């Protein structure tokens, strides 16, 4: 049985941390082979105290107060860099404080990455489905967005095309991480999962973005549009590190709706055809991914998702232009 280390960076999470810790306590993986490393990133609320109280008598859970920086890192990347230096497992799982993992999460994730090869290369990093806790149309649309994204990443992965992994449900080999020199050897990125994904690939490892009903974790939804735009602005900064082809494709998709409206006045049949094709592709991607995840019933929210996606894409672009810095967890970058 493999020794597994779980790495979690937390900052000002007193509202969420108990949910996260309760889920970790329910893991069915033997604690004798489990190391849970929690890095408290200079929280100004009761986060540290709540974790300390919870871990009392649990030797496999370690709380580390992160007060200094390492290399060029800051925020989550800095916390993970320091936790990684204390990790003793052969395989590492990374998640967030607003996540509730499933009881068999460790076994399911190991099944994906342990001694796996793909395309003639050793799998060094993988991500699994993050589901958003659904409480209505807004949160259901967020759940479909995450599902659509991972479904798209998984589809591209079949052709060896990888863009990133999802840092709140990520598995990696310790040796793959160490081959990169660690976060301390990387330039700072507000999207630390994106940076790690490419650093591991540069070391000759390959990746997996996995779609099935195992190793699913549940995240809390963004409560407001503003919170959602802040989250996606941060992700957009990472996406802008991609090459010009992917940046161009992202820009085209962002403005697809207004472009189609303009095209309709000149070539209505072509505009309608493109709109129908894009909608059908999104529906197919979601239906397949939801089916494989055992959540096909949520396809009923698809009509709302179509509108939500256009608002989100255009809103994030303009939010990016208006906001000169990324604000995350009470800090600006």
**Residues 128-148: tens digit of each pLDDT:** 999 999 999 999 999 999 999
Cα-based distances in Å from 283 to 139, 278, 291, 303: 18, 9, 12, 10
Quick one: 196 and 81 in the same domain?
Answer: yes
CA-CA distance, 106 to 103, in Å (whole number)? 8
> In this predicted structure, what is the pLDDT of residue 282?
96
Task: With cut-offs at 50, 70 and 90, classify the pLDDT of residue 253.
Answer: very high
Q: Same structural domain for residues 232 and 216?
A: no
Q: Domain check: are 192 and 320 in the same one?
A: no
Cβ neighbours of residue 298 closer than 8 Å, sequence gap 6 or more: 134, 140, 143, 144, 147, 290
What is the value of pTM for the model shown? Answer: 0.93
Q: Which domain holds residue 243?
A: 227-332
Considering the domain architecture, whether residues 75 and 155 belong to the same structural domain is answered as yes
Higher pLDDT, 74 or 290: 290
Q: In DSSP terms, which residues pair with 37 in a beta bridge?
A: 7, 62
236 and 194 share a domain? Answer: no
Residues 155 and 258 in one domain: no
Separation of CA 42 from chain center:
22
Residues above pLDDT 90, as percent of the chain: 85
pLDDT score of 57 more than 80: yes
3-state secondary structure of 245: helix
Same domain, 214 and 316: no
- Which pLDDT band, with edges at 50, 70 and 90, does 111 fall under? very high
Instruction: Indicate if the pLDDT at residue 327 is higher than 80.
Output: no
In the predicted model, what is the mean pLDDT of residues 70-83? Answer: 93
Percent of the chain at pLDDT above 70?
100
Q: Are residues 66 and 185 in the same domain?
A: yes
For residue 237, what pLDDT is reported?
Answer: 85
Residues 295-305 have a mean pLDDT of 98
Is residue 190 very low, low, confident or very high in pLDDT (cuts 50, 70, 90)? confident
Q: Does 298 lie in the same domain as 159?
A: no
What does the pLDDT read at residue 183?
95
Task: Based on the fold, state whether residues 189 and 320 are members of the same structural domain.
Answer: no
On whether both 212 and 241 belong to a single domain, the answer is no
pLDDT in the model for residue 106: 97
Please compute the mean of the pLDDT values over residues 206-235 and round it to a whole number.
94
**Which one of 197, 222, 247 terminates a domain?**
222
Q: Which of 222, 244, 268 is the last residue before a domain boundary?
A: 222
Domain boundary among 222, 244, 269: 222
Average pLDDT over the chain reads: 94
Residue 326: per-residue pLDDT: 73
CB 215 within 8 A of CB 169: yes
Assign 333 a pLDDT band (cuts: 50, 70, 90): confident
Higher local confidence (pLDDT), 324 or 143? 143
**Same domain, yes or no: 150 and 242:** no
Q: What's the CATH number where 179 sits?
A: 3.90.550.10
Q: How many independent structural domains does the chain possess?
A: 2
């Amino acid at each position: 049985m493999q020794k597994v280390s779980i790495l979690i960076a937390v900052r000002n999470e007193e509202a969420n941390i108990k949910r996260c810790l309760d889920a970790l306590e329910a893991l069915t993986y033997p604690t004798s082979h489990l190391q849970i490393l929690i890095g408290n990133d200079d929280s100004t609320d009761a986060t540290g105290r709540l974790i300390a109280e919870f871990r009392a008598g649990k030797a496999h859970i370690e709380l580390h107060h992160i007060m200094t920086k390492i290399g060029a890192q800051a925020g989550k990347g800095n916390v993970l860099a320091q936790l990684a230096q204390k990790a003793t497992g052969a395989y590492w799982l990374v998640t967030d404080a607003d996540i509730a993992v499933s009881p068999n999460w460790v076994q399911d994730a190991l099944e994906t990455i342990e001694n796996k090869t793909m395309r003639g290369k050793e799998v060094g990093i993988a991500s699994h489905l993050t589901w958003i806790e659904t409480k209505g149309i807004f949160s259901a649309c967020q759940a479909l967005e995450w599902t659509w994204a991972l479904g798209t990443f998984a589809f591209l992965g079949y052709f060896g095309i990888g863009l990133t992994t999802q840092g709140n449900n990520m598995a990696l080999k310790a040796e793959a991480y160490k081959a990169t020199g660690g976060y301390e050897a990387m330039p700072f990125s507000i999207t630390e999962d994106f940076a790690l994904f490419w650093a591991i690939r540069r070391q000759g490892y390959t990746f997996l973005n996995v779609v099935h009903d195992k190793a699913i974790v549940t995240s809390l939804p963004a409560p407001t549009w503003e919170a959602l735009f802040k989250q996606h602005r941060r992700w957009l900064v990472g996406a802008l590190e991609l090459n010009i082809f992917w940046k161009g494709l992202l820009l085209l998709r962002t403005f697809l709706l207004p472009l189609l409206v303009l095209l309709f006045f000149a070539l209505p049949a072509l505009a309608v055809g493109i709109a129908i094709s894009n909608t059908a592709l999104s529906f197919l991607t979601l239906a397949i991914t939801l089916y494989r995840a055992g959540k096909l019933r949520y396809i009923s929210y698809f009509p709302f998702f179509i509108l939500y996606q256009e608002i989100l894409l255009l809103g994030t672009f303009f939010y990016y232009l208006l906001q000169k810095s990324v604000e995350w967890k009470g800090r600006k970058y």
